[in-house]
Amino acid sequence: MDNTLKISDFNYDLPLELIAQTPIEPRDASRLLVVQRATGTFEHRHFRDLGDFLRPGDLLIANQSRVIPARLLGYRAETKGAVEVLLLTERNDLGPDHWETLVRPGRRLREGARIYFGPQDQAPRLIGEIQQRTEAGGRIVHFWTPEQEAGSSGSADPYQVLSVRQRIDEIGRMPLPPYIHETLEDQERYQTVYARIQGSAAAPTAGLHFTPELLERLRQQGVRTGFVTLHVGLDTFRPVEHENVSEHKMHSEEIELDSPTAELINETKKAGGRVIAVGTTSVRVLESVASFHNGEIAPYKGSTRLFITPGTRFQAVDAMITNFHLPRSTLLLLVSAFMGKELMEQAYQEAIKERYRFFSFGDAMLLL
Boundary (domain end) residue, out of 171, 203, 231: 171
CATH number at residue 317: 3.40.1780.10
Q: What is the pLDDT of residue 2?
A: 74
> Is the Cα dihedral 157, 163, 166, 170 positive or negative?
positive
Q: Quick one: pLDDT band at residue 149, thresholds 50, 70, 90?
A: confident
Domain shared by 48 and 84, yes or no: no
Residue 177 lies in a domain: no
Mean pLDDT computed over 58-83: 95
Tens of pLDDT along 237-268?
Answer: 678 889 999 999 888 888 999 999 999 999 99
Please state, rounded to an integer, the average pLDDT across all residues of the chain: 93
CATH number at residue 116: 2.40.10.240
Q: What is the pLDDT of residue 236?
A: 67
Boundary (domain end) residue, out of 111, 144, 171: 171
Phi-psi region of 294 (alpha: psi -120 to 50; beta: other; left: phi over 0): left
Mean pLDDT computed over 65-85: 94
Residue 308 lies in a domain: yes
Q: How would you class 198 by CB atoms within 10 Å of its CB: exposed for 0-12, middle for 13-18, buried for 19 or more?
A: middle
Q: Which domain holds residue 95?
A: 72-171
Tens of pLDDT along 328-355?
Answer: 999 999 999 999 999 999 999 999 999 9
**In terms of DSSP H, where are the helices of 296-340?**
330-339
Q: How many domains does the chain have?
A: 2
Residue 178 lies in a domain: no
Q: What is the pLDDT of residue 230?
A: 97
Q: What is the pTM of this model?
A: 0.90
Domain shared by 107 and 156, yes or no: yes
CB 356 within 8 A of CB 46: no
